[in-house]
Amino acid sequence: MTKVDGIGLGYSYHLPTAGWGLKLRNSLSQFSDLFSEFNKYIAPAYHHDRCERSVQMRLYTMHKREFVMVFIAFFGCLGLGIFIGMAGPPITSTTEIDGKSLLTKDNRTHSTNNEIATGPFTMRSPAMTTYCQQMWLIAKLSTDNNDDEILDKSFQISISIEGLTVDHKPVTVIDRFLDYTHYIITVNFYDLEGFHQRYSIKELKFYFKTYNPAFTQIEIWFRFIFLMATFFITCWFAHTLKKYAIFDWSIEQKWMSILLPLLLFYNNPVFPMTFLINSWIPGMIDALAQATFLSALLLPFFR
């Protein structure tokens, strides 16, 4: 308050000028008001009442007994899966062939002959079906070297594959599918003669390895069972929430509505087509569906 000369009471009031602190406080207050308008679109904090903001999930109203039953059911299914995996057939099937038995009679008893280091080794595969899915040929050689020396030798291999028709006629294989019951495979080694002369290759084993057909059948049935279970759960989930607007769904419910359809494709309804047609399309669909579901499942951890 200051005294002013002239007409009037002689006094006037001057309001204090606003400082930076007051201006900043006013700006924050305005921003808070604007922020509160979008408050219902943002994930709730611990003090927010979620039940009034979105569709209430069954998880928030479950009792202790129901929680216990859910965990018992989960671990029961997990234990059942582990038991089936341990009691079921092995994933792969392996057939062993002695490489020396593929040589001529004179060379079987003379391991110093270079033929064991070169070949050719011509062998017939075990009976194959489409349930075998893939076929691997593995070679393992042993030497007379008894010390702990580590050997590193580079060499070349040539392999020719022919399929046997119903008339037992060899046909050159040009695709990657198991179209024939038996295959004739010829293997040749190159640049192993000097290695054999120094370390003496005493044993050579070939292994035909494929997926176990019994395991493939179990895989088909398991995929079908999980596919049907996922389909019914998806339908039940959609029926439960269809009476509510999507705007009122919680973020978990919205994310679950995306994961369930992806889980349907993860179980791959066209998986049996892999064994019925010789095409790369079913395999590509299966790999793409699995990669998409796993990426969507792990996406929230990378936010």
Assigned token pair, 166: 């119903």
Residue with the bigger pLDDT between 303 and 123: it is 123
pLDDT in tens, 234-253: 998 888 888 877 777 777 78
Rg (alpha carbons) of the chain, rounded to whole number: 36
DSSP 235: H
**Listed ranges 20-29, 129-138, 170-179, 237-246; the one with the highest mean pLDDT:** 129-138
Confidence band for 81, pLDDT divided at 50, 70 and 90: confident
What does the domain layout of the chain look like in residue ranges? 2-41, 92-211, 213-303
**Three-point CA angle 138, 133, 269, nearest 5°:** 150
Helix, strand or coil, per DSSP, at residue 21: helix
Q: Which amino acid is at 204?
A: L
**pLDDT recorded at residue 111:** 46
Average pLDDT across the chain, whole number:
78
Residue 300 scores a pLDDT above 90: no
**pLDDT recorded at residue 136:** 92
Residue with the bigger pLDDT between 113 and 108: it is 113
Q: Tell me how crowded residue 133 is: count the other CB atoms within 10 A of its CB.
A: 20
CB 92 within 8 A of CB 126: no
Residue 109 scores a pLDDT above 80: no
d(CA 175, CA 150): 38
pLDDT in tens, 145-196: 776 677 777 888 888 898 888 888 888 887 778 888 889 999 988 888 887 7
d(CA 202, CA 113): 11
Helix, strand or coil, per DSSP, at residue 78: helix
Q: How far is CA 180 from CA 158, 170, 274, in A?
A: 21, 10, 16
Confidence band for 34, pLDDT divided at 50, 70 and 90: low
* Averaged pLDDT for residues 57-84: 82
Assigned token pair, 28: 């924050």
* pTM exceeding 0.75: no
Cis status of the peptide bond prior to 120, with omega within 30 of 0: yes
**pLDDT recorded at residue 29:** 66
Exposure b/e, 269-291, CB count within 10 A at least 16 = b: eebeebbeeeeeebeebbeebee
d(CA 39, CA 53): 10
Residue 120 scores a pLDDT above 70: yes
d(CA 125, CA 208): 7
* Averaged pLDDT for residues 49-74: 71
* Averaged pLDDT for residues 293-303: 79
d(CA 80, CA 223): 16
* Averaged pLDDT for residues 137-152: 78
Helix, strand or coil, per DSSP, at residue 207: strand
**pLDDT recorded at residue 115:** 76
CB 181 within 8 A of CB 127: yes
Residue 300, φ and ψ in degrees, nearest 5: -60, -20
Assigned token pair, 152: 């590193």
Q: Which amino acid is at 57?
A: M
Beta-carbon contacts of 131 under 8 Å, excluding residues fewer than 6 positions away, are 211, 213, 216, 217, 275
d(CA 104, CA 155): 23
**pLDDT recorded at residue 47:** 44
